[in-house]
Amino acid sequence: MRILKKRAQFIRANKAQRISKTSFTLKMVKTNSVSNLPAFMISENETKAGIGYTITKKTGNSPQRNRIKRRFRAASNICAHLFKPNYDYVLIGRPKALTTPFSELVKDLKNAVRKINKTI
């Protein structure tokens, strides 16, 4: 999976489809960076699914935000096989993500990814 790092990738996801859960919101948008290139110019990394994490200051102090981000990274690594290639996913954290048991967080993420993938 690719990691989203540029602000433009996150802004493009604002107009995306979204699924809300108690501990996060998941957004998905089609990647358009490789659509105009010929097949021989596209690297394998560009066709992988992209994932980004957003946790705002409203969520808590920096140790809490970092812990939420670590939990999201671990959960998305478990669910990596569900993410579709050529799509970018953005996880927006909520304060409930700190207190939700990890197994429930993974279950919610799996359900959200499956549900959002059906809308394609």
**What span, in angstroms and rounded, lies between the C-alpha atoms of 59 and 113?**
22
* Domain limits for position 93: 2-118
- The CATH number that applies at residue 43 is 3.30.230.10
Instruction: Note down pLDDT in tens along the chain; length 120 residues.
Output: 899 999 988 999 888 889 999 999 999 999 875 555 455 545 555 678 999 999 999 999 999 999 999 999 999 999 999 999 989 999 999 999 999 999 999 999 999 999 999 987
Q: What is the pTM of this model?
A: 0.86
Query: Between the CA of residue 68 and those of 16, 24, 94, what are the distances in Å?
Result: 22, 10, 8
Domain count, the chain: 1
Residue 9 token pair: 């990738």
Indicate the helix (H) or strand (E) that contains 50: strand 50-54
**What span, in angstroms and rounded, lies between the C-alpha atoms of 65 and 54?**
9
